[in-house]
Amino acid sequence: MTSVHIYASDVAFSPAVKAIQARKGSREAYARSEQRGWRTQVDDNLAAFLAEANSFYFATASADGQPYIQHRGGPKGFLKVLDKQTLAFADYSGNQQFITQGNLSENPKAYIFVMDYTHRRRVKIWGEARVVEDDEALTTSLMLKGYRARPEQVILFKIAAWDTNCPQHIPQKFDAADVAAALAARDARIAELEAEVAALKGEKGTTEVTT
């Protein structure tokens, strides 16, 4: 039986969740937030956030409710915005267990969790997803140039609601490529300063000899 959602946040705040919120004292605050509403469309902030993402977690469940979470990774921006309510990504060939695809074939409900450890930000996106296996043009459009992976199919994700979390308890971590770039910039600056110091010493030595 499909539940009726009055607020976008009802996708997560089921009657059972609201009952626990009431029992534990947070229902009043969340009831106020429902009036403001969770977002249901991609805005500029979300689009910019996803454009920088190179990793996310994709959750599905079987018809009987068995959950499954799978990591998806790729170049920055591989999770693309097709329109205000649709995301898409090329599903690269992997271990061929096909758990995600099997789940989606009998239960379209899905969830995307994107974590930005560098800036300690996270975005939660609820919706429904489906697999597209026979659209070569769409698959090609979702592949970023130069990335060595074989696309097997496409997953389209229709957004029902999305929200952000506070940074509490998120450890700060940095991508290896970003660290390497920062170290290279530091080393280049050190070499530049050392060259300046050597030049200044050389000028001083010449002055002393002349004197």
pLDDT attached to residue 163: 94
Is there a contact between 174 and 117 (Cβ–Cβ < 8 Å)?
Answer: yes
pLDDT in tens, the chain (211 residues): 456 688 999 999 999 999 999 999 999 999 988 888 899 999 999 999 999 999 999 999 999 999 999 999 999 999 999 999 999 999 998 888 999 999 999 999 999 999 999 999 999 999 999 999 989 999 999 998 889 899 999 999 999 999 998 888 999 999 898 899 999 999 999 999 999 999 998 877 766 666 5
N-terminal to C-terminal alpha carbon distance within the chain: 96
CB pairs under 8 A, 24+ apart, for 7-15?
A: 7/34, 7/37, 7/38, 8/37, 8/38, 8/39, 8/40, 8/160, 8/161, 9/33, 9/34, 9/37, 9/38, 9/161, 9/163, 11/126, 11/160, 11/161, 12/124, 12/126, 12/161
State the residue for tokens 């002055």: 207
pTM: 0.84
pLDDT at 211: 59
The pLDDT value recorded for residue 209 is 61
With the C-alpha atoms ordered 192, 193, 196, 201, is the resulting torsion angle positive or negative?
negative
Locate 93 and state its tokens: 């060939």
What is the token pair recorded at 15? 């009657």
Question: What pLDDT, on a 0 to 100 scale, did the predictor assign at position 35?
Answer: 81
Q: Give the residue carrying structure tokens 């070569």.
A: 136
160 near 123, Cβ under 8 Å?
no
For the chain, give percent helix, strand, coil, nearest 5: 40, 30, 35
CB 60 within 8 A of CB 51: no
| pLDDT score of 208 | 67
* Strand-pair category, 86-92 with 80-83: antiparallel
Beta-bridge partners for 22: none
Amino acid type, 119: H
